[in-house]
Amino acid sequence: MPRGERNSEAAGAREFRAGILLVRVGEFSRGLLEEISARTRIAVAPGALDPAVALNPARGQYDSTRLLVELGARHSQGLVVGATDCDLYIPVLTFVFGEAEMPGRAAIFSTRRLREEFYGLPPNRELLVERAVRELWHEVGHLRGLVHCPNWSCVMSSAHSVDRVDAKGDEYCRECRGRLGLARGRN
């Protein structure tokens, strides 16, 4: 690939990430957040959002839609993605890995059900980070207007189980990249 095309691709990827902030929600690990930030090159906002307003005591889970409202109100510029270890839900589903306004400004993803420990297995930090990065890019895709993709290797494919999160890649497929106006290469 000619050098000018590579520079153009890199500029497109930087522009795609520009204006996105990653926000801690609750007691999310600062170290994990920094690792996700380093892998995605998405900036981390200072402070953290208290998820207590979204707790549903009867379910023992947090209403992800309510957290989207809180994130959007607290961060009024650009796109904001919350990272939490709280167990998220929407009323019609038992749980969600994440939720986003589509298209919109606010999204959130949870690592609770991405952790091996949730399934009675030993911790696996590398796998957790990989899963979290996939869910982050998935929610960013929704923020940018993408719907679920039928290509199961695309990060925009739907996932209703952790096995499906593992089956998809961490990049947008060619069709989704085209809809986003991105050239080939890394997100």
- Which pLDDT does position 8 carry in this prediction? 39
DSSP run (H or E) holding 70: helix 64-74
CATH number corresponding to 3-132: 3.40.390.10
Specify the pLDDT at position 187: 62
Q: Indicate the average pLDDT of the chain.
A: 90
12 pLDDT higher than 60 = no
As a whole number of angstroms, the distance between CA 100 and CA 123 comes to 27
Please report which confidence band the pLDDT of residue 76 belongs to, taking 50, 70 and 90 as the band edges: confident
- Predicted pLDDT at 31: 96
pLDDT tens sequence across 85-116: 999 999 999 999 999 999 999 999 999 999 99
Which is higher by pLDDT, 8 or 111?
111
Is 139 one of the annotated active-site residues of the chain? yes
Percent of residues, the chain, with pLDDT higher than 90 = 84
Least-confidence region, from 3-12, 17-26, 47-56, 114-123: 3-12
Mean of pLDDT values over 30-36: 97
pLDDT category at 183 given cuts 50, 70, 90 is low
Cβ 140 vs Cβ 177: under 8 Å: no
**Catalytic: which of 70, 139, 171, 175?**
139
Burial of 181 (0-12, 13-18, 19+ CB in 10 A): exposed
